[in-house]
Amino acid sequence: MTSTASVQDRQAHAADLLRNAGVLPVITVHTLDEARAIADALLEGGLNTLELTLRTPVAIDALAMLKRERPDIVIGAGTILNAENIRASTDAGADFLVTPGTPAALADALVDASIPAVPGAATPTEFMALRERGFRNCKLFPASAVGGLAMLKGLAGPLHDMRFCPTGGISESNAAEFLAQPNVLCIGGSWMLDKAWIAAGDWARVRETAARAAQIVREVRTA
């Protein structure tokens, strides 16, 4: 069993990764070429950290490829559902792990993982269970559906030592408001990856929207 101290160390690392990201683009890729093009557009726009979801057959290969070919990118493996996903993502070189939700067996597997984890949850009870295992940095998902800003403000009192990456329903129009919450380390979203732009290969639009997202982070943090 992994020691409590090592969980705390990995949670501190997770906090640093999320804080440095500010905005965490959530991407789903269908080919290796698509993965390269999306990653390059995000990097050029100023976003160097992403969550690559394990929702397609090519996802693990894409993760490994990007870690080899684009060493400046920090990659979280997303949609982690079980211990096998953890092993495959770690072997592929993922920098951290992200789950959409975290039942007890998965939470225990994340405690034993060798890389930082950002477990997902949607209710105070779930966050309290994660907190008991040593997790202090979690994903609020689906953020808008479970209360959004009101939920984050409500969690701030009783769970004052926890920090969040709200994901789900966040857009360019409300990104700054979420980022301004004291218990938010970063925000996750895919508004800079419109499916029509991806289908058309309009990487300039992706790059421009990523640049605006990076600017929102800078403006909020220097306000």
Catalytic annotation, residues: 51, 139
How far is Cα 179 from Cα 16, in angstroms, rounded to an integer? 15
Cβ pair 69, 96 in contact under 8 A: no
Residues 6+ away with beta carbon under 8 Å from 178: 143, 148, 149, 152, 166, 170, 184, 187
Decide: helix, strand or coil at residue 222: helix
How far is Cα 197 from Cα 146, in angstroms, rounded to an integer? 29
How far is Cα 207 from Cα 47, in angstroms, rounded to an integer? 9
